[in-house]
Amino acid sequence: MVVFGPRLREATVLSGKLSGSRTLAGQLRRALFVACVLTVLCSLAPALSSAAQVTLAWDANTDPDLAGYKLYYGNSSGSYQFSVDVGNVTSYTLSGLLEGQIYYFAATAYNVSQNESGFSNEVSKAIADVTPPTVLMTAPANGSTVSGTAVTVSASASDNVGVAGVQFSLDGVNLGAEDTAAPYSVSWNATLATSGAHILTAVARDAAGNTASAAGVSVTVDNAPPLLSSVASTNLSASAATITWVTNEASDSQVEYGPTSAYGQVTALASALVTSHSVGLSGLAASTVYHYRAKSRDAAGNLATSADATFTTAALPDTMPPAVSITAPTAGATVAGTATVTNGTHTLKAVARDAAGIPPRRAASPSLSPSLRFSAAMSWTTNEPSDSQVD
């Protein structure tokens, strides 16, 4: 039989902040070697991704049959998920331990017959989290223009152990309180900032105090709406018009219009950001007064609206000739005057030509009795203003 007398101690902590050796005296839980059959050992493959290490050392077992030692460890006292057969050595460096976790260790000895002792005393070690978080600004976009009382400033952050909080800053000054729960964001009242360029960034920290700063994003604060000028209506026809204006900064284009200053109709938003604006209106009624106003929104979303203005559409083109009704002489009347006509029956015609000049329409008089010489007064009416001629 072998007698196991290990005094397990943590020899060196390579990854933590401790240095040198530390003997955990008086914690030997069991010294007697227990004869037992080795069953399941070293079958748990720890899924470790970190390089944190801890070196353990223990007192040698003096049993002449000693063959080696096994280390057991895990995250709960007295319950070890992991073990490793380290051979016949009295110190061993375990690696791949996870930062930010407490590990508990115990050792056993085994003899040439593969009989294994009971556990040694247990030692524990907190593996320090020395890995800072990662943090990335997610809003606003770098180079964007912002305005308003509630600009969302946000970041994504992660950490090997856990993010304790994210503190945003504006031009190096804390912006709001630290956000301690994901998603990480703060609402920024940009109207309190001066118009112009500003830098937003964030610092994430973990519970161990490791910090990381996000790359800052540059934003332009614009709290002023565009200035609209030279608002005018052009290209007026009976059914269409063009509204033009200019702005002092790039902005979009839209026109409200209608028969009164309540408008009622609006053009599709032209989202291109321009300073010279032109919006066409169509489907208008002829000879009608329209009210309109121009609207432009800048890149930051500030909206400006022009004062109410009006235009009148053109009249429809006149394609109807005037109607003519002869009122004198009356049908069958005898007229006298001087004219040189051939014998026969003659007809007097009134010719009326409207303002559009197209086409003249003639109204025939009643047949007149022939006469070598006659004069006649002829009168007629039309349904619209037109000139006068007798054929």
Q: Residue 179, interface with Ca ion (CB under 5 A)?
A: yes
- The single residue listed with the structure tokens 């090997």 is 160
CB of 25 to Ca ion, least distance (A): 33
Q: Residue 40, interface with Ca ion (CB under 5 A)?
A: no
**Amino acid letter, residue 162:** G
CB of 127 to Ca ion, least distance (A): 11
Q: Residue 224, interface with Ca ion (CB under 5 A)?
A: yes
What is the spatial distance between Cα 89 and Cα 108, in angstroms, rounded to a whole number?
12
CB of 104 to Ca ion, least distance (A): 21
- Sequence-distant (6+) residues with CB within 8 A of 47 are none
Q: Which is nearer to Ca ion, 140 or 360 (CB)?
A: 140
Q: Residue 116, interface with Ca ion (CB under 5 A)?
A: no
Q: Which is nearer to Ca ion, 210 or 313 (CB)?
A: 210
Among 159, 252, 256, 354, the residue binding Ca ion under the rule CB under 5 A is 159
| Displacement of CA 46 from its chain's centroid (Å) | 43
CB of 187 to Ca ion, least distance (A): 11
CB of 200 to Ca ion, least distance (A): 16
Q: Residue 252, interface with Ca ion (CB under 5 A)?
A: no
Among 37, 181, 262, 331, the residue binding Ca ion under the rule CB under 5 A is 181
Among 116, 252, 256, 298, the residue binding Ca ion under the rule CB under 5 A is 298
Surface-to-core class of residue 211, CB atoms within 10 Å of its CB (0-12 exposed, 13-18 middle, 19+ buried)? middle
CB of 254 to Ca ion, least distance (A): 16
- Sequence-distant (6+) residues with CB within 8 A of 45 are none
For 330, the 3-state DSSP assignment is: coil
Q: Residue 161, interface with Ca ion (CB under 5 A)?
A: yes
**Total count of residues recorded for the chain:** 391
DSSP string, 159-210: -SS-EEEEEEEETTEE-SSPB-SSSEEEEE-GGGSPSEEEEEEEEEEETTS-
Q: Residue 150, interface with Ca ion (CB under 5 A)?
A: no
Q: What is the DSSP letter of 27?
A: -
Q: What is the radius of gyration, based on Cα positions, of the chain?
A: 50
Q: Residue 129, interface with Ca ion (CB under 5 A)?
A: yes
Interaction site with Ca ion (CB under 5 A): 129, 131, 159-161, 179, 181, 206, 210, 222, 224, 298, 302
